[in-house]
Structure 1
Amino acid sequence: MWICQHVLFIIFTLNCVSGAASLIHVFGYEGKEVKISCPYIKGYESYEKYLCKNGCGYSDILITTLQRNTSKYLIYDDTKKTIITVTISDLRSHDAGKYWCGVSRLGKDLYTEVQLEVKKDRCCDTVSKIQSIEKGSVSISCPYDFEYVNNLKYICRGNRPSTCLQQAVITSDTKQNGQFRLTDDRKSSIFTVTISSLTLRDSGSYLCGVQRKVGLDVFSAVELEVKELELFHISGIVGHPVTLQCPNPPEQRDKKMFLCKGDQHNNCTDIMENQRKFMLHNVSSSCFSVTITDLEAADAGTYYCGSDSQLSYIKIQLTVVSTDQSSTVSPIITDEQITSLTTSPHLTDVTLFYILPAVLALLLILVFLLWMVLKYKSRSKKVDGVGLNVLNSDVGMISNDIYELQENAVYMNTSSPPNMSNHDDIYTNILYRKDLSQLGNM
């Protein structure tokens, strides 16, 4: 009996599969959810509906309207529109395959075949890389197939296609949204998104999307890098010239060199046309120079210069002072400015190259001479000390001799008082004292 029922079930299943009336394609991303909508004919609103997979055997039934929901599947029967909607959550690659929407009835069930395709939720194998400068602007070109010329175009941040349209920063319906502007060239099948007033926070991944009526949207990936704008401070004197150094990288040689004045880069006035006031010179593969002749107080302000108004340029803050103030004001030179100026010959660099070693050598010579003087004085003190001791010793000896001679003289006078009648003794005593007096004077 069981064998007969099993055979009948297989025959029923084969009849169901072979009798499929339509095929629905559904696409989803890993980790996300997908909705499968299957219509049915009127008159079966009260019948049980279900979703099954593969051969749709008993073990292949995933959800029924009697269950309503499980941890992964949710089924809803819209009896007014006669549509069964099944939501499959937390998609994985093994969820891809063939499904069936079924309506239980006596005899053959009603069914609709569904083919589910699951893709990874990231894009793309090829990524275009572009760069720009802070406070500048950049244009992102997004090509598409001609068959989608009338479809909705959009761009979003990140690289997750599943949420790109919901998080789009601009679409072809809006065309302008803050710093984003979208234009569509239908003849060349390219839509362009321009981002103005760039900041460092605008760096990151972007997806260009084209909405499709059937299946997943079409995407292309872009990686944007916004570089920090270099700022230089320069001072000049009224009536004197001042020279500005501007970048001119080799890859931008075909670009027009520019120098403009204004607080905002996107809204500044190009002043290179006045060649009498602004003289262009020293053009090389890395930079060019612009000399502002006969400075005036009105020349002070903010300047932007370079060879690419979108990518390669710098910001210069020029201060102009009068002749009286020039002695107390000096230009501020940053490390970046020195690095920039080394890319081309400059008088300041040559001067520093020769002066600095000379100053260091002079300091070393002065230190050496000071050391020699101190050493000489130290030795002189030692020599003077020794000579003084010797001199004192000699004086002491002489004093002692004089003292002994005086004692002897006194002794002689007291022991043998002179006899007034003895002239020889008196004469001898006088000679002795005379000799003693001469010795004392020594």
Structure 2
Amino acid sequence: MARVVLGVAGGIAAYKACEVLRRLRDSGHDVRVVPTANALNFVGAATWEALSGHPVSTQVWDDVHEVPHVRIGQHADLVLVAPATADLMARAATGRADDLLTNILLTAHCPVVMFPAMHTEMWLHAATQANVATLRSRGVVVVDPDSGRLTGADTGPGRLPDPVDIRAVAEAVVEEPGLAPGAAAQDMAGLRVVVSAGGTQEQIDPVRYLGNHSSGLMGIGIARAARLRGAEVILVGAHMDHEPPAGVSVRRVSSTGDLAATMAELSPQADVVVMAAAPADFTVAAAAGHKIKKVGDAGLSLDLVQTTDVLATLAASRHEGQTIVGFAAETADSREHLLELGTAKLARKGADLLVCNDVSGGKVFGQARTSVVVIDRDRIVAEATGSKQVVAHRICDAVLAQRAD
């Protein structure tokens, strides 16, 4: 259980912070809400107290004997500000300490993550961008806002991401605080990353298909991690059990043929291509145009043919300076066997890096946690065990290291 300070600034998106709080509490974290005075115009103190189980104050003058303006920040494992308004970030960037939240931001020893939310013009203003750059230079993780419907009829960048995204980032930083420096530094800025995720579906007839157990969670995690670290990200999503992260472009596909065509279209413009999707190795030679009916006790035979080897095709057509990352979901008897299978697959496919994991007994698929070994042609370059969001950052680290060689 982590001790999380949830700072809430005075914007209409403050109502979404109620759901962020609920999700963090449901995950077992102890959350104390510290709103600004303006935030209480949108969500009252009674709501925050009822949902968090802690008293709420906006000023340093309450419970002075406990020195809250210092103690709260010193004892926190994470300070999460959602929403962070233009005003709050301006005060934080200049070191103001005129309410309890800004005092906490000055005294916290833990990672600080801010999710800005404001109108597009305010987000794009030079002053706001300068404040964001200042905060990032000091190690604060400032997550670019989502694009979409804002207050009234306005649309554009400035929307607070979905609470699911906010919790995913917050919990990854809590689990592994070492992720924060890369995100704050935007160490993948300037890179175009194409990530595939999910399992393909091969049509048998209009109502049936051949598929697999891939949930898409690993690919979604990589897309979220790369975007958090500043990359321009396109997610090519086959069947996914989870919503794509905020801030990424999404291309939907169904079959392995669709996946191959879309990846071939997008990869020439990419610096990094991550094939985290689980494409089918076989497809039906000729799908039926009508629903196949049962006839007596007779079974059903399907004529299957091999699909396009998407990873090998991408690796064979890579351009100079491009990094190709593949995945190997194997049923291995041991770690040595897993590495043996991964090494052989890497040689066949021609990728630069291969992420190997053992899926024996149904592990990994659809689960929140995983364990991987990342290899190149010569050695193990990374190993990681933890939530898929943390592992996604470790894979990004391996990509950056490979590109620096």
What is the TM-score normalised by the length of structure 2?
Answer: 0.21
**Which structure shows the bigger proportion of residues in helix conformation?**
2
Larger radius of gyration: 1
**Which structure shows the bigger proportion of residues in strand conformation?**
1
